[in-house]
Structure 1
Amino acid sequence: MHQLTYGDIEAATDRIAGRIRPVALAPVDPGAIRTAHGDPLDERSAEPCEVWLAMEFMQHTGSFKARGAQNFIQAHREAGSLPDAGVTIASGGNAGLACAWAAQQQGVRATVFLPANAPQVKITRLRGYGAEVRLVGSEYAEALAACEEFAAASGALTSHAYDHPLVAAGAGTLLEEIRRQIPGLDTVVVAVGGGGLFAGVATAARHHGIRTVAVEPENCRALNAALAAGRPVDVPVDSVAVDSLGARRASAMALHTAQQDGVRSVLVADGEIVRARQALWEHRRVAVEHGAATALAALTGPDQHVPERDPSAQPTVPSRGYRPGSGEKVCVVLCGANTDAATLVRPEN
């Protein structure tokens, strides 16, 4: 297994420069996020925290995935290992869209496999990026098997949604941009599915002495469960954010990253995710995926005591949410917005 390094992030930063949109940052209203020491508006409380939102949902294709896809294809082009058959991937979600977009940008063929019951809007968008779309079976596993057969027969290069060092390194370029805009950044908060975004961001963050908070829904906790078991394990997935965070198993690369110093794994309830997503719409008219709102939910959920612990120790009781300390500078990554904005017109139950 390739262990992701900061050198991989540096190489990806140089490789995709000018090919992706730089992330925009927006400050959260002072006093909107409570610290671990009380209400920052209370004169008796400690210095308030400073919280920023990384608006990565404005990236090409509507998610951070464009970074990893661009790095993956560009790296293979530079190495002369990009086959005439192009690239292929099994994903009807953000990874598939990003792969198709990056391939189009590079003038490379893309063949995307997804279940026959995939939403027509995704099929249309994929074809809009010039991809050949192949509909197979009724489940992702069937589409994946067909993708693997196609790659073996055609020689096409197989990409992955998250479990590849080039994909994770591309995602890690986001942290490099964030820290340049927020001097003295203490903590970055990211949602975790399979772990590509987390692994990349946390690897870059650790190099700069920045803490990473990895946030998962209670019932989509692949990384949290892997930390507890000491190895990647399969978990059930049942969450409002399952469409983007529903990986049944975290990558070994993500687990290794999470076991390093400066990482904290926390869980949030679906209700907290829904409320955080709704709040972004109500207060900013920002429509993000539930997966993106998962990161913010760690800071906006109900007050709970979250004890400090050795990040390298195996958790016994999962931490709930994250409360910044006095004067702490925090950036929350809003990672994607491929969602139905109509569901935000009225508050969800």
Structure 2
Amino acid sequence: MNSLITPERIAEIERLIRPHIRHTPTLRVDMIDFGLAPRPVDLKLEYLQHSGSFKARGAFTNLMTRSLPEAGVTAASGGNHGAAVAYAAMRLGVPATIFVPGVTSPAKAERIRSYGAALVIGGDRYADALAASEKFVEDNGALAVHAYDQPETLLGQGTLATEIEADLPGITTLLVAVGGGGLIGGIAAWFRGRVKVVAVEPDGSPTLHMALQAGQPVDAPAEGIAADSLAPKQVGKLMFPIAQAFVDRSVLVSDDDIRSAQRALWDKIRIVAEPGGAAAFAALLSGKYVPAPDERVAVLICGANTTAVRFD
């Protein structure tokens, strides 16, 4: 277990970054409105965070706790982490260069540019963009801000759990979408088993699922509708022992499950979620995760950087 990722340290970081992030709201829904048996479910609306996803928490933590060189910061990202680093850099007056793969959605690329960062397309997948960003660090001396395998990143994402516990003290289960694992790692490190944390991954990129089966991070496929946010080559090494100790299980959902969840969130409650942002809700809606009668479930809606809804 990483001794740096503790509830005490997460609480310290929450106080540090609080002036720069939004305390996002929750919304209680009844699953009968989605065609399922009646059950109250609480949604944590983190897609309303600055830059359109939870990633702003880790970005501000990195920029506010690490030494910043004149060359500024750089990040490799499927889109959301890059947008968050670009936003934090803009707010703090720091140069930023963001590397993204070709699968990044136009909505995310445009958001990164809108914050004034230099945007570089680096290959087809996240691993390609990461390699390009590492070469940039070697050549220019910029500070690398890793999307998930960095202590400051996990600590920042863990601050989301402090809000969930404060606003939803009675929940027993929390469903969280997983890519590299920075979000669920920080959340699980905060709760430490006091809440059942369930990972949700696309079946085309079962990164944590395969790691838990193998007993260590292993290479996984990186395919599917959520490949720009939930498809790293491997789950993070820092979060993996946290997941082994405090994540209950990994549930896999299909691309069709995710699309159905996106449509249902929009049709029923006018929430626009990107595929990765809707994945956790997809597990509940599709029946891939069926709560016990006595469970009080919360679902994290973690990102909304998409052009899924167009306004004419």
Same-fold status (TM-score > 0.5)? yes
Can you give the 5+ residue segments of structure 2 that lack an aligned partner in the other structure?
Answer: none
Partner of 1:22: 23
Instruction: Map residues 319-338 of structure 1 onto 2, 5 A cutoff.
Output: 321-338=288-305
Shift of the alpha carbon at 1:34?
9.2
Q: In structure 2, how many angstroms separate the alpha carbons of the residues matched to 1:323 and 1:6?
A: 29
Q: In structure 2, how many angstroms separate the alpha carbons of the residues matched to 1:232 and 1:248?
A: 9
- Among 199, 215, 236, the alignment partner of 2:185 is 199
Instruction: Map residues 99-110 of structure 1 onto 2, 5 A cutoff.
Output: 99-110=85-96
Can you give the 5+ residue segments of structure 1 that lack an aligned partner in the other structure?
Answer: 41-48, 303-320
Partner of 2:55: 65
Instruction: Map residues 268-287 of structure 1 onto 2, 5 A cutoff.
Output: 268-287=253-272
Matched residue SS, 1:52: strand
Q: In structure 2, how many angstroms separate the alpha carbons of the residues matched to 1:173 and 1:30?
A: 28
Q: Counterpart of 1:95 in structure 2: which amino acid?
A: H
Partner of 1:172: 158
Matched residue SS, 1:244: coil
Aligned length: 311
Deviations 1:296-343 (A, max 9, x none): 1111114xxxxxxxxxxxxxxxxxx22222242211000000111237
User: Is it true that 1:128 corresponds to 2:114 in the alignment?
Assistant: yes
Shift of the alpha carbon at 1:28?
1.0
Q: In structure 1, how many angstroms separate the alpha carbons of the residues matched to 2:294 and 2:33?
A: 14
Contact 1:292 1:335 in 2 (8 A): yes
Shift of the alpha carbon at 1:7?
2.4
Q: Is the alpha carbon distance of 1:183 and 1:72 closer, same or farther for their aligned partners in structure 2, counting shifts above 3 Å?
A: same
Q: Counterpart of 2:150 in structure 1: which amino acid?
A: H
Q: Is the alpha carbon distance of 1:118 and 1:27 closer, same or farther for their aligned partners in structure 2, counting shifts above 3 Å?
A: closer
Shift of the alpha carbon at 1:64?
0.4
Shift of the alpha carbon at 1:264?
2.1
Contact 1:89 1:147 in 2 (8 A): yes
- Among 194, 200, 211, the alignment partner of 1:215 is 200
Shift of the alpha carbon at 1:141?
4.3
Contact 1:72 1:167 in 2 (8 A): yes
Q: Is the alpha carbon distance of 1:141 and 1:180 closer, same or farther for their aligned partners in structure 2, counting shifts above 3 Å?
A: closer
Partner of 1:235: 220
Shift of the alpha carbon at 1:200?
0.7
TM-score, normalising length: structure 1: 0.82
Q: Is the alpha carbon distance of 1:342 and 1:152 closer, same or farther for their aligned partners in structure 2, counting shifts above 3 Å?
A: same
Matched residue SS, 1:266: strand
- Among 275, 288, 293, the alignment partner of 2:273 is 288
Instruction: Map residues 332-347 of structure 1 onto 2, 5 A cutoff.
Output: 332-342=299-309
Q: Counterpart of 1:186 in structure 2: which amino acid?
A: T
Q: In structure 2, how many angstroms separate the alpha carbons of the residues matched to 1:220 and 1:278?
A: 21
Q: Is the alpha carbon distance of 1:178 and 1:270 closer, same or farther for their aligned partners in structure 2, counting shifts above 3 Å?
A: same
Shift of the alpha carbon at 1:159?
0.7
Q: Counterpart of 1:299 in structure 2: which amino acid?
A: L
Matched residue SS, 2:303: coil
Q: In structure 1, how many angstroms separate the alpha carbons of the residues matched to 2:135 and 2:247?
A: 41
Shift of the alpha carbon at 1:70?
0.7
Partner of 1:248: 233
Tell me how large the CA RMSD over aligned residues is.
Answer: 2.5
Partner of 1:155: 141
Q: In structure 2, how many angstroms separate the alpha carbons of the residues matched to 1:32 and 1:200?
A: 32
Matched residue SS, 1:18: helix
Shift of the alpha carbon at 1:217?
1.3
- Among 161, 169, 172, the alignment partner of 1:186 is 172
Shift of the alpha carbon at 1:26?
0.5
Partner of 2:76: 90
Shift of the alpha carbon at 1:183?
2.1
